[in-house]
Amino acid sequence: MNLDLNLYESDDKRSKFARKASVRIGERANYVNSPHVIAMVGLPARGKTYISKKLSRYLNWIGINTRMFNVGEYRRHATSDYRNHDFFRADNAEAMAIRNQCAEEALEDVCNWLENGGGEVAVFDATNSTLERREKIRDVIVNKMGFKLFFVESVCDDPAIIEQNIMEVKISSPDYKNMNKDTALNDFLQRIRHYEEKYQPLDEKVESNKSFMKIYNTGEKVLVHKHEGHVQARIVYYLMNIHITPRTIYLTRHGESEQNLEGRIGGDSNLSPRGEEYARALAKYIEEQKIDGLRIWTSWLKRTIQTVGELRRAPQERWKALNEIDAGVCEEMTYSEIKKQYPDEFAARDLNKFAYRYPRGESYEDLVARLEPVIMELERQGNVLVVSHQAVLRCLLAYFLDKTADELPYLKVPLHTVIKLTPVAYGCRVEHVSLNIEAVDTHRANQRYQEVKDSWCLTVLKKNLIACRCCQLLILIVLS
């Protein structure tokens, strides 16, 4: 059987090639698929890097090739020995020259990546706190390169949020690796004062020609000015939903189902006896956690609803978006039946599991699009228990753990296990809690990786056998 690999090349790559071939550089800023630069603005410890990382993670998850460029990392590379806040004084000419050079190098890398590296959105993470600096960025990005530019300013006047950010993130940065906490805190506060002396917030009257968004106190209030196109619209909508309130998201699959026991995919079967036991154990576990304001979300399928049947104190919502991936003509079949009845489809799915779409069904790529509203709502919520299905939870985990499209379809989500996700400064803390009730293993490993591994093992085995035979011949010669 011959499979055409080009069939599984993403439409995104082809459209990117067409864009490069047909759009002249002077016209590109008005083109719907023009590369974007998201330039952060704000004083230190206002959550710019937090926003940059979350935004990059979200855009990559929905299939927009995004990369973050942090100017602080360029500065630390250029000057490895940070001494104190004097480096950030406006009258420190030598340090200012280094800082400007680092910003220019980072911006040059942004342009190279968008122009030649296949990038679609670059997040330029820096203070960009003066009108002069923002004009320079606009001149390079818009006037010279023809890209779209969108500024995102994080404004924070809540001392508690600022102090929390400094204590959780800033004093543990490489700049302060040799300082005690009190010295580091005082130094960083002085660094902020140096920036405040020259700080010029974005203003719709002074900078009416720029597209930008201002976020106050990490979501308390939002101002949007002159945003352009669907990419910026999605960015605005996403950033309007995020918050930093402490919370935990609990993910779990339904209890083992009757069709799990038979090795069948999809369907709408009831829980098995062990699945019913898990439902009782889950209710006990959640009750013991004493979770404030917990909300419970399930799919529309019986096995998830039955799994939360013993949880009566927390409000429950049913989401059709949380239904398992639609296997189309392969619904309620075993993998061996699919391989026998649809051999080409079976092979094609192993070739590119993320992009492969079941006939009359869905792909993981489709599933990500279906789950985007769920992610938006999860970002807005406090403590939530999501009871869903293997493919769905893989997609949600890939978002929170920043996994690639290649990794996503192979993430392990075992039955009868609760996955606790606790958002922290720049990511998520993950904890797997097994409730110690036996269940079948429905995980299917990456077959491409397995084939390579098996081939390598076979090669090693053959070499060892050849070596053994050579030794045997050598021994025979010596003995003779």
- Nearest-angstrom CA–CA distance, 2 and 4: 7
Closest to 253 in 3D by CA, of 423, 440, 62: 440
Between CA 322 and CA 328 the distance in angstroms is: 17
Helices and strands: H and E segment counts in the chain: 16, 12
> What pLDDT, on a 0 to 100 scale, did the predictor assign at position 13?
46
Residues 329 and 339: beta-carbon distance below 8 Å:
no
What is the SS3 assignment for 38? Answer: strand
> Is residue 392 within 8 Å of 298, Cβ to Cβ?
no
Q: How far apart are the first and last CA of the chain?
A: 52
Question: Any known ligand binding at 75?
Answer: no
**Per-residue CA distances from 278 to 2, 274, 287 (Å):** 45, 6, 14
Let me know: does 358 contact 329? Beta carbons within 8 Å.
yes
Spatial contact of 409 and 394, defined as CB atoms under 8 Å apart: yes
* Residue 85, strand partner residues: none
Apex 113 CA angle, 108 and 116, nearest 5: 110
Helix axes 229-239, 48-61, angle to 10 degrees: 120
Query: In the prediction, which pLDDT does 449 show?
Result: 58
How large is the C-alpha radius of gyration of the chain? Answer: 27
Is 260 among the annotated ligand-binding positions?
yes
Instruction: Tell whether residue 256 is among the known ligand binding residues.
Output: yes
| Sheet with strand 221-225: strands edge to edge | 66-70, 121-125, 36-41, 148-155, 212-216, 221-225
Which of 177, 183, 189, 240 lies closest to 213, judged by CA? 240
Q: Contact at 8 Å (CB) between 415 and 257?
A: no
The number of residues making up the chain comes to 480
Residue 464's pLDDT is what?
Answer: 56
Collect all residues with Cβ–Cβ distance below 8 Å to 12 and sequence separation of at least 6.
Answer: 63, 65
Does residue 303 have a known ligand-binding role?
yes
> Cα–Cα distance between 361 and 366 in angstroms, integer?
9
The residues annotated with a catalytic role in the active site are 254, 324
Domains, the chain, with CATH or none:
23-239 (3.40.50.300), 249-444 (3.40.50.1240)
Does residue 328 contact residue 360 with C-beta atoms inside 8 Å? yes
CA angle (381 as vertex; 378, 387 as ends), nearest 5? 55
Distance in angstroms (rounded) separating the CA atoms of residues 415 and 252: 8
According to the annotation, is 253 in a ligand binding site? Answer: yes
CA distance 186 to 10: 51
β partners of residue 471:
none
What is the rounded distance in angstroms from the CA atom of residue 91 to the CA atom of residue 102? 18
Q: Which two tokens stand for residue 25?
A: 């550089």
**Nearest C-alpha neighbor of 385 from the set 314, 321, 324, 434:** 314
Going from the first residue of the chain to its last (480 residues), give the mean pLDDT of each consecutive group of 10, the final group possibly shorter: 43 43 41 84 95 96 96 90 88 93 97 94 97 98 97 94 86 85 92 96 96 93 94 96 92 99 98 99 97 98 98 96 98 98 96 97 98 97 98 98 97 98 90 98 83 51 53 49
